Structure 1
Amino acid sequence: MPTTLRCPACSAPLEIPAQHAATSRCPYCGVAVLLSERPQGTQAATNDPRADDVGDIVALLRAGQRIQAVKLYRERFGAGLKESVDAVDRIAAGQPAGTVPLPPSGKGSAVGCAVMLLLVIVGAVMIWRLSRAGEETTTPPAAQESRDPVGAVAPGPSAPPAFADEVLRFGSEGTGAGRFTDARGVAVDGAGRIYVAEYQGGRVQVFDSAGAFVTQWIADPKMPLVDLEADRGGTVYVVQYGRIRRYEGATGKLLGELPRPSRMTSYSDVALALDGTMWAVAGTSQIAHLGRDGAVRRTIDLRQAVGDDASPERVAVAGTGDVYVLDRWSDEVYHLAPDGRFVDRFGGPGEGPESTPSPEGIAIDGRGRVLVSDLGRGIRVFDAAGHYVGEFGGQEVVFGLAVTDHDEVIAAFRNRHQVVKFRLDR
């Protein structure tokens, strides 16, 4: 007679064979569950002492504190920065993170690796289910009723934001036209066309300024798409596997790849300046100023410029030529003068309005103000000198940001599978 247990990920009934198999798969969520023998009977649980560590990481991700989750991952499991970031990103995306490194006491046990892999998978499913539950319970009824899978979604009834008004919202979960699975990158060209990129699969969808689907095209489907930018003429710059490629935005035709000074140079972010030049994050600590042809004009070692252990992740350029660099490891923004000279730093950990404990995206508006998307806290606004002046977007998980010439902000609400346009009011 089989024994009925509960799945630790979703609490669905779990059928255990009488022969007490070592594992079982949940028929509801698909998670592989490790079974253990106890005096009182078989239990769908693990006695691995690191379960609490994984649970703490899951809790941080549920709270939108991605950077804190990465830091905790490194602290608890002794992994490197890149390994930790990749593992946490996979968990947040609802994917297996791979085998978690064992501490010295684990002695490389294959069973320990299997247990930790199971815990990561369970954690990923927990995040997915909880994010879905949160979306279903927080989306206003009016917004649910008006959702159009292809066209725009009318904003639900809510109090006007303090700093900006929501004027457009479109998208839903899926793979069809106007649907997203993991949209993190957004860009806008001079005609107001909006480009939305998925993190995995290389998919880029094109929408008109009103949010109506126009077309889609595929960049490299095998590598994560980490950044997306568009110039006023409709050329789209895509950053994948350390390279920057240019595409014709309307068709997805590959126009070429920007040169790299060496095979060891790896780009992870790019921003377009008004004069047609570019600034890019190059490697672990450098910022490169590129000409219109992509040739490197100069390189700035951010660690030397800041005088600290800087690790740039995102870059944005103001109309004045000033450069703002987002460091997701220190949670700060570095302000550089047009000549690359370090000016100041702002943001950082904390709970106050001036803090940015989980920064993800950065953009500059037409008035020179710095917009920073802070996971779980919407979008925070600072003046050119780094002083806090306002916020909008609510307690949302916002990834990519783009700004039009008309003081409109395009934001990727990744967990809601939507793109939202705001109009800045002041």
Structure 2
Amino acid sequence: MSKIYVLDTNVLLQDPHSIFSFEENEVVIPAVVLEEVDSKKRYMDEIGRNARHVSRLIDSFRGNGKLHERIPLENGGSLRIELNHRSFQQLQDIFIEKTNDNRILAVAKNLSLEEETKEDGKTVILVSKDALVRVKADAIGLLSEDYLSDRVIENDHVYTGFLEVYTAKETIDRYYEKGEIQASEIVTFPLFPNQFLVMKDALGSSASAIGIVDKSRKKLKKLIFDYDHIWGIKPRNVQQTAAFELLLRKDLPLVTLTGKAGTGKTLLALASGLLQTEDHGAYKKLLVARPIVPVGKDIGFLPGEKEEKLRPWMQPIYDNLEYLFNVKKPGELDAILAGMGSIEVEALTYIRGRSIPDQYIIIDEAQNLTKHEVKTILTRVGEGSKIVLMGDPEQIDHPYLDAYNNGLTYVVERFKDQMIAGHVKLIKGERSGLAQLAADLL
């Protein structure tokens, strides 16, 4: 039996094409949702862009019939704008305030009550990204669901970029002797290109080795780079060693790093970028950028020129640069950067429309990017450039994103099969014992 799905505003603002995600069922958009979408269409961010897209999309349906009646969709379902079920009588004793959320709940509840009176009545389901709206729906006996179609994966099995496998000590010895080994000798399942395997002795000895799957996916090879340190930074665990391998390889123009706070993502990327830009001259410039998304309450407009306005947002980058340059005095870093001229710290606000060739690009806090924004960034990458996206998918400040539908997770999952990309998830915090404990406990 077909169902009726009532969409909350946040579903449309998160995914304008969500209208087509409900197969051969009926999609209902309450009139109050259109009002909320209209109030957002002047925003100059991703939400505003999606609001304008939704407006144009719904407007395009007008040629198919009257919107307050049932309009057929390409996927076999239907769409209508709901105007006649706005009565608040059923909810006035429960929710006194006539907020937009409660008005949407009223539409869904009244539709549900009407369908219950019919012999072949349909099941009515409210779809919302807002957890409290779903809680309220449950409280009034209304079915509700989260919108999950925008998720890259359906569970928490996000690609980590490495595996631990147990094998015979003789196999590990032969790997060290030859520098490579057939992957089929270690695992029976398919692997991804540029995936890392950490081999350990199945009998429990201390013998171990790390290798990277080649582009044919048939061989496991030794890592190319074996630096004692890079700009004073030494890898402290196997994942950091793997990260350095990806960050230093010229044949991998896309690298993604994920991990909790303090695992070294930014520091490793900056050290690798400085080595290849300043020491080796492999790239003309090191470009570091991050999205401007505040944690907690926004501090409002900032005084000064662009550089002064950006400084508070970019301070985490400058902190890592001060550590790498061993800065001792206030203002010394600015003098160093001005003298070098090959390091650019920028906000992602200014990246649209650019073409960025022959540069080492680092995008920090990429988990706060939407799929559209991350596509915009990756399509800016010019010939001869390398881009590093990094962040913690569990630490998101964007109101409509979660660990499974953010831009960083999207890129990790979509590119894990590609030969030009590499990924590794950093596990162990190396900032301090307190930072690691806080990341685990809090």
Give the TM bin, normalised by the shorter chain.
Answer: under 0.3
Structure with the larger strand share: 1
TM-score, reference length from structure 2: 0.27
Higher relative contact order (CA 8 A, sep 6+): 2
Whose helix proportion is higher, 1 or 2?
Answer: 2
Larger Rg: 2
TM-score by length of 1: 0.28
